[in-house]
Structure 1
Amino acid sequence: MAPVQGRQKEYSTIDTGASARCQSEPLLNDSLCGPLPDSETPHVFPERPKPQAIQSLDLLEGLSYQVIGASGESDPWLLRHCRFDERGFLPFHRVHVRNAGGVPLDEKIPVHFLVTDDRQYSSNKDSTSFFHEQWIREKLNSLVPLEYGQRLVALFVKFIFPSLPIISRSQLGLSEMRTAPSPEALQRMPVHLLAAIYASAQPFFKFDEHLSVLNAYIPSPTEELWGLALELVLREIHTAHLSTLQAGILYLQKSTEENQSAIADSPFSWSFTGMLVGLAMSLGLYLECRPMGLPAWEKRLRRRLWWAIYAEDKWRSLLIGRPPYIRSDEWDVTDLDDDDFRMDASLADRISLPDDDSKQEILYARPFQYFVRLSRLSDEVQYNLYSLKASQRLYPNFNATLEAARPLFQQLKEWYASLPASLKQQNRSFTTIDGMVPQSSCLRFCYMLLEVFIFRALLRPMVLSATPPPLFEESEGLANFLNHVNAMTFANDSAFRTIEDEVEPVLAIDVSDQNGTGNATLKAAENCALKILRMVMQMTNRDLAEFWFPWARIGFATVSNYIMLLLVQAPTKDHAVRANRLLCLWRQALRSQSGGCALMLPALTRLDELYSTGLSRNYYLPKHVKELLDEQLH
Structure 2
Amino acid sequence: MTTAVAIQPAMPRPTPVPIAAARPKKQQKPSPGKENVVSGKPVSSSLGPVANIRTRRERPCDACRRRKSRCVIHEGAVLCVLCEFHKQECTFVQSPLPRKRKVVDDGKKDSPNNQKKRSVDAEPPPLALPTPTITATAPSPPPAQLPLAGVHIPHLGETLGLQRRQHSRYIGLSSPFDSLLIGLSHFDTRNESTFDLGTLRRVNDHECFIMLPDENTQDYADEADTLNHVEQLVHPHGPALLDLYFRVVHPSFPIIQKHLFVERYRNGDRTFSPSLMAGMYILALNWWSFDPRLAPHHKPDAARLEAIAMSSLSRAMERPKLSTVQAGLLLLQRPEADSWSLTTQLVAIGQELGLHLDCSGWSIPLWERGLRKRIAWALYMQDKWSSLIHGRPSHIFSANWAVQPINDEDFKEEGDGYDTRPDEAEEEKEENERGQILFAQMIGLTQIMAEVMDTFYTQVAIQDFANAGKKSTELILARAKPVQIKLRHWHEKLPPMVKMNAHTKGKLSSLGYLHLAYFATEITLHRRIVQSLDASSHDPYGFFMCRNAAKTRLISAMDFVNRLKPEHLQAFWYFASKINFTLIGTFGSLLWATAPAQEEADFYKTRLREYRWTLSVSSKRAEFLDYAVSMLDASRAMLNNLAEKPSLAQQVSNAGVPPAAPRSTMGPPPIYNQNQDVQMQEGDELKRSPSGQSFEGFGSEPFTSRPGSGSQTAEGSLADDA
TM over 0.5: yes
- Counterpart amino acid of residue 596 in structure 1: R
Aligned to 2:293: 210
CA drift of 1:594 comes to 2.3
Q: Is the 8 A contact 1:156 1:200 kept in 2?
A: yes
Contact 2:157 2:163 in 1 (8 A): no
Residue 83 (structure 1) shift: 2.3
Distance 1:244 1:359 in 2: 24
1:118 aligned residue: 214
Alignment check: 8 A CA contact 2:389 2:579 kept:
yes
Q: Which residue of 2 aligns with 1:44?
A: none
Q: What residue is the counterpart of 2:645 in the other structure? A: 622
* Counterparts of 1:522 and 1:67, CA distance in 2: 49
Residues 550-583 of structure 1, C-alpha deviations (whole Å, 9 max, x = no match): 3322222221111011111112345334323322
Q: Residue by residue, what CA displacement relative to the aligned partner does 1:567-615 show, whole Å, maximum 9, x if unpaired?
A: 111123453343233222222222222222223223222332454x573
Match of 1:382 among 427, 448, 453: 453
- The amino acid that maps onto 1:65 is S
Deviation at 1:358, TM superposition (A): 4.8
1:89-488 equivalences under 5 Å are 89-93=192-196, 95-101=198-204, 103=205, 110-121=206-217, 125-126=218-219, 132-145=222-235, 148-174=237-263, 182-185=265-268, 187-214=270-297, 218-256=298-336, 265=338, 269-343=339-413, 349-353=423-427, 358=431, 360-362=433-435, 365-394=436-465, 396=469, 397-426=472-501, 428=503, 431-433=506-508, 439-463=510-534
Structure 1 contact 568–622 (Cα < 8 Å) conserved: no
2 CA distance for matches of 1:393 and 1:621?
33
Name the SS for the 1:353 alignment partner. Answer: helix
The answer (yes or no) to whether the contact 1:507–1:571 under 8 Å persists in 2 is: no
TM superposition shift of 1:162: 2.2
**What does residue 543 of structure 1 align with?**
568
Change (3 A) 1:347 1:564: farther
Sort the Cα spacing of 1:549 and 1:623 in 2 relative to 1 into closer, same or farther, 3 A: same
Name the structure with the higher helix share.
1
Aligned to 1:80: 183
| Matched letter for residue 628 of structure 2 | A
Instruction: Quote the Cα distance in structure 2 between the aligned partners of 1:626 and 1:405.
Output: 34
C-alpha deviation, 1:536, in angstroms: 0.8
Q: Any stretches of 5+ residues in structure 2 without a counterpart?
A: 1-41, 45-155, 652-673, 675-722
Q: 1:586 aligned to 2:661?
A: no
Preserved contact between residue 159 and residue 547 of structure 1 (Cα < 8 Å): yes
Q: 1:234 to 1:290 in 2, by over 3 A?
A: same
Structure-2 residue corresponding to 1:64? 167
Contact kept? 2:451, 2:483, Cα under 8 Å: yes
Superposed CA deviations along residues 405-428 of structure 1, whole A, max 9, x for unmatched, are 111111111111221112112485
CA distance in structure 2 between the partners assigned to 1:313 and 1:256 by the alignment: 17
For 2:360, what is the secondary structure of its paired residue? coil
Q: Is the 8 A contact 2:251 2:432 kept in 1?
A: no
Match of 2:590 in 1: 565
> Of 554, 557, 567, which aligns to 1:529?
554
SS state of the match for residue 555, structure 1? helix
Asked whether the 8 Å contact 1:566–1:579 carries over to 2, the reply is yes
**Secondary structure of 1:325's match?**
coil
Give the TM-score taking structure 1 as reference length: 0.72
Task: Please give the alpha-carbon distance, in whole angstroms, between the structure 1 residues aligned to 2:561 and 2:367.
Answer: 38
Alignment CA distance shift 1:88-1:564 (3 Å): same
Q: Classify 1:387/1:169 alpha carbon distance in 2 versus 1 (closer, same or farther; 3 Å).
A: same
Q: Give me the TM-score of the superposition, normalised by structure 2.
A: 0.64
Runs (4+) of structure 1 moved beyond 6 Å? 625-628
> Structure 1 116/357 Cα, relative in aligned 2: closer, same or farther at 3 Å?
closer
SS at match of 2:585: helix
CA distance in 2, matches of 1:347, 1:507: 69
Q: Distance in 2 between matches of 1:614 and 1:452?
A: 20
Q: Which amino acid aligns with 1:187?
A: R
What secondary structure is seen at the aligned counterpart in 1 of 2:588?
helix
Quick one: which amino acid aligns to residue 73 of structure 1?
P
CA–CA distance in 2 between the matches of 1:85 and 1:458?
Answer: 59
Q: In structure 2, what is the Cα distance between the partners aligned to 1:428 and 1:521?
A: 36
Residue type matched to 2:495 in 1?
P
Q: Which amino acid aligns with 2:373?
A: R
CA gap 1:591/1:119 in 2 versus in 1, 3 angstroms: closer
Q: Deviations over 1:60-118 (max 9, x none)?
A: 342111000121111224323332222111101351211113x3xxxxxx100011122
Q: Percent identity at matched positions? A: 25
The 1:561–1:360 alpha-carbon spacing in structure 2 relative to 1, beyond 3 Å, is: closer
Partner in structure 2 of residue 509 of structure 1? 538
CA contact (8 A) 1:54 1:293 kept: no
Q: In 1, are the aligned partners of 2:288 and 2:299 still within 8 Å (CA)? A: no
Structure 1: stretches of 5+ with no match in the other structure: 4-52, 104-109, 175-180, 258-264, 464-505
Deviations 1:489-545 (A, max 9, x none): xxxxxxxxxxxxxxxxx643222x3xxx33222111101010111011111111111
Q: 1:87 to 1:401 in 2, by over 3 A?
A: same
Q: Distance in 2 between matches of 1:141 and 1:610?
A: 43
- Tell me which moved more, 535-544 or 132-141: 132-141
Q: Deviations over 1:232-268 (max 9, x none)?
A: 11011111111111111111112328xxxxxxx5xxx
Query: Residue 349 of structure 1 aligns to which amino acid in structure 2?
Result: D
Report the residue type matching 1:204 in the other structure: W
Q: Which residue identity is paired with 1:509?
A: H
1:553 alignment partner, SS class: helix
By how many angstroms is 1:442 displaced?
A: 0.6
Contact 2:510 2:573 in 1 (8 A): no
The aligned residue for residue 490 of structure 1 is: none
Corresponding residue number in structure 2 for 1:479: none
Matched letter for residue 289 of structure 1? C
Label 1:195 to 1:578 Cα distance change in 2 as closer, same or farther (>3 A). same
Query: Contact 1:423 / 1:439 at 8 angstroms: preserved in 2?
Result: no
Question: CA, structure 1 residues 167+620, in 2 after alignment: closer, same or farther (shift >3 Å)?
Answer: same
- Deviation of 1:394 after TM superposition, in Å, equals 2.5
CA RMSD of aligned residues (A): 2.9
Q: d(CA) in 1 for partners of 2:648 and 2:634? A: 19
Aligned to 2:348, the other structure's residue is in SS state helix
The equivalent of 2:107 in structure 1 is none
Contact 1:378 1:450 (C-alpha < 8 Å) held by counterparts: yes
* Cα deviation code 1:174-222 (max 9, x no counterpart): 5xxxxxx7443562322221111111111122332111222xxx13322
